[in-house]
Structure 1
Amino acid sequence: MMDSSPHKFYHVHGFDSRQCLEHYFSDKPDMAFGDDSLKFLIDNLRQVFAVGHIKGDILIDLSVSSFIHHLYSACEFFKNMIVLKVNNRCIMELKRWVDDRTGAFYWGHTSTLLQEKEENSDQFEDKEGKVRSAIQHVVKCDLDKKNMTDPLVLPPADCVISAWLLEDASKDQDDYIRYLRKFSGLLNPGGHLLLIGCLDATYFTVGKDKFHIFKYNEDFVRNALVGEGFIIDYCKVKVRTAVSDLTDYKAFIFIAAHKEK
């Protein structure tokens, strides 16, 4: 892959998935991103699913790294979830958790965050267990293939969730729209896309390596979605609160949209 960027590309070079989780999603005291990568995600997903319009048989998740807390609310509304990953280390990390094996990453702090939001927290069910049961397949994908999961052909989904993958894989605007079109192709007519991204970012760090992020703003992503036939139902932007030089995003954006029939 020829590119002038001095940074690595997530979907090309791969990274240490466990270290990524420690940096951006853990319960460690020095983890600076709790309000952004944990609470913001959980709060907005809980809110859009609570309305009751987003539901069905199949949900496909296309996100970076190996986090799972974005699936807590989804598992109540979808019987089957298919998770697509672009590199093997992320697949291994996720499967270790799905199979509840020794050494799996600890997610208890995120289920506690959701429990605090539930009206009847005394009857809070095991969200991690529900997510494990709902994840039917973890599949390797190649974003640049016509069929990303070739030779496997996926059934059309009622919902696609994608967190931070589009900007991490895209070199420029054309790449972003091309990948967005592929994600859209996974959906049934009328299906929903839940898109989580970072605004005005250029890099994120995992260990000693810096990875590329395609820099864009809210207007760009809104126009890209409308251009691909989506109707935006919900949009929330959270200005960054984290103090860290691991990454340089200015804000997180959460968009819920549906594909015109």
Structure 2
Amino acid sequence: MMDSSTHKLYHVHGFDSRQSLEQYFSDKPDMVFGDDSLKFVIENLRQVFAVGHINGDILIDISIGSFVHHLYSACEFFENILVLKVSNRCIMELKRWVDDRTGAFNWGHTSTLQEKEENSDQFQDQEAKLRSALQHVVKYDLEKENMTDPLVLPLADCVISVWLLGVVSKDQDEYIKNMRKFSRLLKPGGHLIIIGTLGATYFTVGKDKFQVIPYDEDFIRKALVGEGFIIDYCKVKERTAVSDLIDYKAVIFIAAHKEK
């Protein structure tokens, strides 16, 4: 097994964003993560948005890779979606889909997960709506005080971060520090939604292995409360996928709002 000290860092070394989509989000027969990476994410987002408390003008998404399936339901509740990406490669892959260019990753296999009664025409309408909302893709740098410097972003009603905090933080203290940076993007009373892996130490894209810091549900709950958040919703799903591409034990979905 590769020593963790030799694992690459996602935000430093980058990865093949298309390869990551194929391995963790595709409809290929050997893609075993569908319940955790697709269904779990879509169903829980749909559930928290349906309650009606999380909505507004601006949503900021700051997630790993170039996936979009988690934003289908969001575009029903937010006028504008701003996406922050750490690498040009991820930006190019995402813009290929936004611009509906030849060779863009096809998310059609997630249509049956969006709504029970969804048909292909409805899904195409939803894709068009998401593309319209998702017109601003911005590069960020975690080392900067203002991550998007020189651009100053408007404060958001909601920030979503999927599988990112654990891979851009060297330890749990830095995880909290980065969570604090993300929370600064919120309006007073704004909502933060975090989706992550519990107990993971690495993930693989192609031949490259990347570091993840392990943490449990108790840690992320205490981190949110310590940063002034009130937890509104939390769901944990134990891992069922059999694969050595990644060693997580469970996935967590947690939604909270910042006290005004």
For normalisation by structure 2, the TM-score amounts to 0.96
Deviation at 1:121, TM superposition (A): 5.7
The residue that corresponds to 2:254 in the other structure is 255
Structure 2 CA distance for aligned equivalents of residues 112 and 200 of structure 1: 30
Deviation at 1:129, TM superposition (A): 1.3
Q: Does 1:211 align with 2:210?
A: yes
User: Do 2:59 and 2:156's aligned partners in 1 also have CA atoms closer than 8 Å?
Assistant: yes
- Specify the SS of the correspondent of 2:49: helix
- Specify the SS of the correspondent of 1:127: helix
Q: How does 1:122-201 map to 2 (within 5 A)?
A: 124-125=122-123, 126-201=125-200
User: Do 2:25 and 2:34's aligned partners in 1 also have CA atoms closer than 8 Å?
Assistant: yes
Q: Does 1:37 align with 2:37?
A: yes
Percent identity for Structure 1 against Structure 2? 78
Structure 2 CA distance for aligned equivalents of residues 232 and 16 of structure 1: 34
Q: How does 1:55-66 map to 2 (within 5 A)?
A: 55-66=55-66
CA offsets, 1:76-112, max 9 Å, x none?
0000000000011100000000000000001001123
Structure 2 CA distance for aligned equivalents of residues 24 and 14 of structure 1: 16
Deviation at 1:186, TM superposition (A): 0.2
User: Do 2:202 and 2:211's aligned partners in 1 also have CA atoms closer than 8 Å?
Assistant: yes
Once superposed, what is the RMSD of the aligned Cα atoms?
1.3
Comparing 125-134 with 191-200, greater Cα deviation is found at 125-134
Q: How does 1:66-85 map to 2 (within 5 A)?
A: 66-85=66-85
Structure 2 CA distance for aligned equivalents of residues 20 and 225 of structure 1: 28
The residue that corresponds to 1:107 in the other structure is 107
Distance 1:230 1:104, change over 3 A: same
- Specify the SS of the correspondent of 2:200: coil
The residue that corresponds to 1:15 in the other structure is 15
Amino acid at match of 1:251: A
Amino acid at match of 1:220: F
Unpaired segments ≥5 residues, structure 1: none
Structure 1 CA distance for aligned equivalents of residues 195 and 5 of structure 2: 23
The residue that corresponds to 2:241 in the other structure is 242
Amino acid at match of 1:85: K
Unpaired segments ≥5 residues, structure 2: none
Structure 2 CA distance for aligned equivalents of residues 59 and 235 of structure 1: 20
The residue that corresponds to 1:91 in the other structure is 91
Amino acid at match of 2:151: L
For normalisation by structure 1, the TM-score amounts to 0.96
CA offsets, 1:213-243, max 9 Å, x none?
0100000000000000000000000000111
Structure 1 CA distance for aligned equivalents of residues 221 and 258 of structure 2: 13
Distance 1:219 1:108, change over 3 A: same
User: Do 2:23 and 2:205's aligned partners in 1 also have CA atoms closer than 8 Å?
Assistant: yes
User: Do 2:111 and 2:119's aligned partners in 1 also have CA atoms closer than 8 Å?
Assistant: no
User: Do 1:194 and 1:254's aligned partners in 2 also have CA atoms closer than 8 Å?
Assistant: yes
The residue that corresponds to 2:48 in the other structure is 48
Structure 1 CA distance for aligned equivalents of residues 21 and 30 of structure 2: 13
- Specify the SS of the correspondent of 1:5: helix
Deviation at 1:122, TM superposition (A): 9.0
